[in-house]
Structure 1
Amino acid sequence: MEQSSFKVDQYYITKVDADKKSIYCHHDVMGELLVPTHKHDKAQMLYAEGDVVFVTTETKTYFLPARHFIWIPSGVAHSIHPKSENVMMRNLYFPVEKNEDEFYQSEGIYPVNNLLLQMMLFTNQWNGDLKKGSPNFVIAKAIKAILPQICLTNLPLELPLPKDARLGKILRHVENNLGETILFADVAHEFGYSERSLYRLFQKDLKMSFIQYYTIRRILKAIELLLERKLSVKEVAQEVGYNSVPTFSNTFFKILGQRPSDYLNGEEILERK
């Protein structure tokens, strides 16, 4: 563990921010299941391929599926938890500039379209500092520049972390029973709440309703199962408590912007080389 932490400190603190003006680039297979909490002066664009990555900040856990990227602004403390050691992580770290677009001020998860995929593919062999004025720096800066124009939908692939211990128990119950249909009234009764008081607790602590939390958690689990490529769409729907495939498909589309079948058949374009 000490060796792993030392490696992370060396990488994130010493290298990423060593040259304040460079764009730092790092592409590699994860090779470990935890990058401990850290932060850096540069903003981070993290693209994942091959499996799911969880990114945890002080207030939220972000769920980064393959073929998506997360934008992490400068100075945001976060830890990274890949589901598999074989996840390919592609990182670009950008120095903060004056009068930047407000897009760069907020954390967010976005799908990678074909244009961005091709630009990321172009960076495939880069590693280390891209010096200001170099051709590679110009290309990387262009990637950053187009993000506010093409990333118009910040996907709700995040769940707030509960502050209230009582709510933590309820969310663990939801987590352990995603294959069943969970009714709000039953949860309230089981944990000794009136529906009204439990509704208030969710809104106060998580800033969302039970059904919003439950729906997002089911879809996030479905993404994990789809990426494993062991189950059909119908089987995945059943595993996360949907008896109707059309209902599951429509809910998945509302959250992710594509059908489960399209996501299942998506190609991993930026494969390891």
Structure 2
Amino acid sequence: MEHSGQKLDKYYIKKVDADKKSIYCHHDLMGELFIPPHRHVKAQLLYAEGDVVFVTTETKTYFLPARHFIWIPSGVEHSIEPKSESVTMRNLYFPVEKDENDFYKVEGIYPVNNLLLQMMLFTNRWNGDLKKGTPNFAIAKAIKAILPQICTNNLPLELPQPKDKRLSKILRYIENNLGETILFADVAHEFGFSERSLYRLFQKDLGMSFIQYYTIRRILKAIELLLERKLSVKEVAEEVGYNSVPTFSNTFFKILGQRPSDYLNGEEILERK
């Protein structure tokens, strides 16, 4: 049996970085459910369709919804875990160039607009190294070039990893009770904190308030439920603790930049092999 490190090396690092100047392309149904932590010299554009993908770096878990992409800069260690085997992914790995736009130095999740969607569709049959001087290389390079201009909205779809064990328990409690309305005062009381000390712990450990964390967590769960296509928008709102559909819709829009109904009806463009 092959050691997972060797397997990782074989599939994810050696091929991607073998030719330092090529743009490497990998497009497939996910199939396997976990790619262990690894890093590339090249930067990575990962576009997902069909379901949610969890991308975890050393400090954060990014939540990549269908029809969005994540930009992972050169050298950032990350693992990839699709929520189901039905995820289709397009990966483009780009060499780092001199004096690049600051956009390329920062991790981020972005929606894919129609222009980018059509360009991604054009790359649908590619695989392996795209060599400098070929038409496909020029097209892939154009995809990279337009990103800073069209991706102005880095979506807050990541949650920090807690370092404090007490906080880990509280976050698990939130996770398990997303269908209820969770009040900060009740959480503080339940776990033996004063409101002030719990507020400080959230800010110090996670860099965000309880309400910010709780809101993002609810919306992330809502995205998962919408992608399952089993529940109406109203039912999804209830499942994540919103009694009012307009409030849910407005909060969803604030975070994702589109209404739940629009997200539910989004188009998928990658052909399944």
TM bracket (short chain): over 0.9
**Structure 1 residues 174-221: Cα deviation after superposition (integer angstroms, max 9, x where no partner):** 000000000000000000000000000000000000000000000000
Amino acid in the other structure paired with 1:144: K
Aligned partners of 1:272, 1:165: CA distance in 2, in Å?
Answer: 42
* C-alpha deviation, 1:8, in angstroms: 2.7
- The 5 A counterparts of 1:178-197 are 178-197=178-197
Aligned partners of 2:117 and 2:123: how far apart in 1?
Answer: 10
Kept in 1, the 8 Å contact 2:124–2:271? The answer is: no
Unaligned runs of 5+ residues in structure 2 are none
Conserved? CA contact 2:179–2:239, under 8 Å: yes
Task: Give yes or no for contact 1:237–1:245 (8 Å, CA) kept in 2.
Answer: yes
Aligned equivalents of 1:2, 1:10: Cα separation in 2: 10
User: Contact between 2:178 and 2:240, CA under 8 Å: does it hold in 1?
Assistant: yes
Shift of 1:3: 5.6
Match of 1:207 in 2: 207
8 Å contact kept, 1:45–1:93:
yes
* Mapping 1:52-63, distance limit 5 Å: 52-63=52-63
Task: Answer yes or no: is 1:264 the counterpart of 2:249.
Answer: no
Structure-2 residue corresponding to 1:44: 44
Q: Distance in 2 between matches of 1:216 and 1:6?
A: 37
Identity of aligned residues (%): 87
1:34-86, Cα deviation, whole Å (9 max, x unpaired): 00000000000000000000000000000000000000000000000000112
Are residues 271 and 3 of structure 1, via their aligned partners in 2, closer, same or farther at CA, if it must alter by over 3 Å?
A: farther
RMSD: 1.0
Using a 3 Å threshold, how does the CA distance of structure 1 residues 86 and 3 change in structure 2: closer, same or farther? farther
Residue of structure 1 equivalent to 2:123: 123
Whole-angstrom distance in 2 between the partners of 1:11 and 1:77:
16
SS in 1 for 2:32: coil
Superposed CA deviations along residues 119-174 of structure 1, whole A, max 9, x for unmatched, are 00110010000011111101000000000000000000000000111100000000
Q: Is the 8 A contact 1:25 1:92 kept in 2?
A: yes
Counterparts of 2:2 and 2:68, CA distance in 1:
31
CA contact (8 A) 2:34 2:81 kept: yes
Q: Once the 2 structures are TM-superposed, how far is the Cα of residue 26 of structure 1 from its aligned partner? A: 0.3
What is the identity, as a one-letter code, of the residue corresponding to 1:186?
D
1:193 aligned counterpart, secondary structure: coil
Correspondences of 1:117-266 after superposition (within 5 Å): 117-266=117-266
Matched position secondary structure for 2:181: coil
Measure how far apart 1:6 and its partner are. 3.6
Find the aligned partners of 1:22 and 1:182 in 2 and give their Cα distance.
50
State how far apart, in whole Å, the 2-side matches of 1:102 and 1:157 are.
20
Contact 1:49 1:271 in 2 (8 A): no
Cα separation, 2, equivalents of 1:266 and 1:2: 40
Q: Is the 8 A contact 2:49 2:88 kept in 1?
A: yes
How far, CA to CA, are the matches of 2:213 and 2:238 in structure 1?
18
Aligned mates of 1:63, 1:205 — CA distance in 2 = 20
